[in-house]
């Protein structure tokens, strides 16, 4: 991996940990580390547990890059969308142990995985793009439409509403929440269960279930390549 992403191999699963500063920002380097980790997990035929630092999973894309120029913002967003596309089609289960706040791309990673475990507490989860002056990109809308509860879609995408972990379950960002000191144990237990799934059946069923969503996301990424992506002042 690299200095921003750590990979630990266990018997039936691998733990991939994002470690990039106070915000645990998603940069090009983090995306590369995550892709390297997914490569290794796929090669090793392991369930993935993806997690962050105590108190924060990720606050989203690296704002230094996003505010540098429209071209820099577009490159990072497209790179992140390609990561989500890969995660949604990944042949092995991806569990996210959401260790705290998950904002913007951090929340989109939740929507790109198979099972999401959050922690109880005063944590913020949601899509704040509109709040910070970014018109939501097509790929983000496609991911949100695929994974969020329909009644929450407009609240999350158009209104940039932010939720606590319990509310995030209803919205569709999380599946369960546990006390913080039980997060890794719960994720490990889930990984052990998912490791018993038939790998071929899981991979093929996932692609069938998500076929339309994956096609929509691929089209959305192409639209984003032709669109302006930036954060407005």
Assigned domain for 108 exists: yes
Assigned domain for 231 exists: no
For residue range 82-99, what is the model confidence (pLDDT) as tens digits? 999 999 999 999 999 999
pLDDT grade for 232, boundaries at 50, 70 and 90: confident
Assigned domain for 232 exists: no
> How many domains does the chain fold into?
1
What is the average pLDDT value for the chain, to the nearest integer?
97
Assigned domain for 53 exists: yes
For residue range 39-49, what is the model confidence (pLDDT) as tens digits? 999 999 999 99
Share of the chain above pLDDT 90, in %: 96
The mean per-residue pLDDT over the stretch 199-221 comes to 98
Residue 44: domain span: 5-225
Share of the chain above pLDDT 70, in %: 99
Assigned domain for 230 exists: no
Assigned domain for 190 exists: yes
Tokens describing residue 138: 């097509």
Q: What is the CATH number of the domain that holds 181?
A: 3.90.226.10
Assigned domain for 83 exists: yes
pTM: 0.97
Assigned domain for 70 exists: yes
């Amino acid at each position: 991996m690299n200095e921003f992403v750590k990979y630990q191999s266990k018997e039936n699963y691998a733990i991939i940990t994002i470690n990039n500063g106070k915000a645990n920002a998603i940069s090009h380097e983090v995306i590369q580390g995550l892709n390297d980790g997914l490569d290794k997990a796929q090669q090793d035929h392991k369930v993935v547990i993806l997690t962050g630092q105590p108190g924060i999973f990720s606050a989203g894309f690296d704002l230094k890059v996003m505010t540098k120029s429209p071209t820099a913002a577009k490159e990072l967003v497209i790179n992140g969308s390609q990561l989500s596309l890969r995660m949604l089609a990944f042949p092995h289960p991806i569990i996210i142990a959401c260790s705290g706040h998950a904002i913007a791309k951090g929340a989109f990673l939740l929507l790109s995985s198979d099972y999401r475990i959050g922690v109880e507490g005063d944590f913020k989860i949601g899509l704040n793009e509109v709040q910070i002056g970014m018109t939501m990109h097509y790929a983000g809308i496609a991911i949100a439409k695929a994974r969020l509860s329909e009644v929450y879609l407009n609240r999350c995408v158009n209104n940039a509403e932010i939720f606590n972990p319990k509310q995030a379950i209803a919205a569709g960002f999380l599946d369960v929440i546990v006390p913080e000191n039980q997060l890794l144990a719960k994720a490990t237990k889930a990984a052990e269960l998912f490791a018993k799934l038939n790998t071929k059946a899981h991979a093929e069923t996932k692609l069938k279930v998500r076929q339309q969503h994956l096609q929509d996301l691929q089209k959305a990424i192409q639209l984003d390549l032709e669109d302006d992506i930036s954060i407005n002042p």
